[in-house]
Amino acid sequence: MNSKYKKALNFILNNHVQESIPSKFLTLQKSLTSEERFQIRNDERIVSKIFNLDIDNIIFDEYYCWDSTTLSLYYYLKTFLKTKNIKNILELGCGPYCTLSISLKKLFPNIEFTALEIDKDKIKNAIKTRQKNKIKVDIFYSDLFSKVNSTYDIIFMNPPYVPSKFEKQIVDNSSPTLNSKEWKSGHSNEDGLEVINKLLKNSKNYLSDDGFLIIGINNYFISNIKLISLFKNFEFNLLEKFKKQKECIPTGNYSQVYTLNIK
């Protein structure tokens, strides 16, 4: 374990502020190798400290438990759900640990959570995580809304949004064992908007009256201007954009949370 890795690990374990995004840690991890970043994001001590999630002995070797967008969504939703009367929530693309739905269910036990995933190996691991944490979250296979038959007060997603032009940058900075899977999980298409377009087009059919669509996106890959224009094109109101510039550095290279409802 090199000194930079130790510094990043010790920071989040010893100085993590529960109610804000640990920007210093996010800056520290930029200096780590891809293997070290992967280890940090799958370290059961860190996952437990941030998300109160137990992943001991169920590590998924092909993908990580959280990234900066996961953090942004988690901190935002923790606050947002305290202010709303929400009965049920749908998460799209829950990943191999179902990190957000399981963590949020622990905080809001009276809300019904459903979590969907297209990768069947990730689903198996997510179910193991649910069992380990003894939490009731419905987890099943679906390609976006292909298996959805209900409406929800909130639909949220950390979608794949990385445009094709970033492939060399991401693959060159990843380990040979991780780069292909990491790229495929985050890559959408040429402009990065394929999945976001499908989400915006189809989510209206599955939102309850006065429901909210909440999306986490890193503006480094897709600009805020482009996203706002896209929301208008699909006739969504932008109600709230989560933004803490003092805690998210460098400016412009951080994940945002967009809260939408139907016009």
8 Å CB contact between 208 and 152? yes
pLDDT of residue 254: 66
Can you give the pLDDT at residue 42?
83
Q: Which residue has the higher pLDDT, 111 or 194?
A: 111
- Of the candidates 160, 158, 161, 156, the one whose C-alpha atom is nearest the C-alpha of residue 80 is 156
Which has more confidence, 35 or 80?
A: 80
| pLDDT at residue 143 tops 90 | yes
**21-35, 213-227, 234-248: which has the minimum mean pLDDT?**
21-35
**Which of 3-7, 38-42, 126-130 ranks highest by mean pLDDT?**
126-130
Instruction: Please give the pLDDT value at position 249.
Output: 40
Q: Would you tell me how many other CB atoms lie within 10 Å of the CB of residue 252?
A: 11
Which residue has better confidence, 224 or 16?
A: 224
Query: What backbone phi and psi angles, to 5 degrees, belong to 146?
Result: -60, -30
Predicted local confidence at residue 251, as pLDDT: 42
CA 50 to CA 17: how far, in whole Å? 9
pLDDT for residue 69 is more than 50: yes
Q: What's the pLDDT at 151?
A: 98
CA distance 129 to 243: 30
Q: Span 237-263, mean pLDDT?
A: 71
Name which of 64, 72, 59 is nearest 23 in CA terms.
Answer: 72
> Other CB atoms closer than 10 Å to residue 1's CB: what's the count?
8
32 pLDDT above the threshold of 90:
no
**Per-residue model confidence (pLDDT) at position 219:** 82
Assign 3 a pLDDT band (cuts: 50, 70, 90): low
226-251 CB burial, b ≥16 within 10 A, e <16: ebeeebeebebeeeeebeeeeebeee
**Could you report the per-residue pLDDT of 160-186, keeping only the tens digit for each?**
877 655 555 555 555 555 555 554 554
Out of 5-19, 125-139, 166-180, least confident range: 166-180
What pLDDT is recorded for position 19? 47
Q: What is the mean pLDDT of residues 80-90?
A: 96
138 sits in which H/E element: strand 138-141
Query: What pLDDT, on the 0 to 100 scale, is given for residue 58?
Result: 81
Select the more confidently predicted residue: 83 or 40.
83
Kindly report the average pLDDT of the chain as a whole number: 82
Q: Name the pLDDT band for 216 (thresholds 50, 70, 90).
A: very high
Q: What is the pTM of this model?
A: 0.86
Whose tokens are 């040429």? That residue is: 190
Q: Which amino acid is at 26?
A: L
Domains (range + CATH), the chain: 3-262 (3.40.50.150)
pLDDT of residue 35: 74
pLDDT at residue 142 in the model? 96
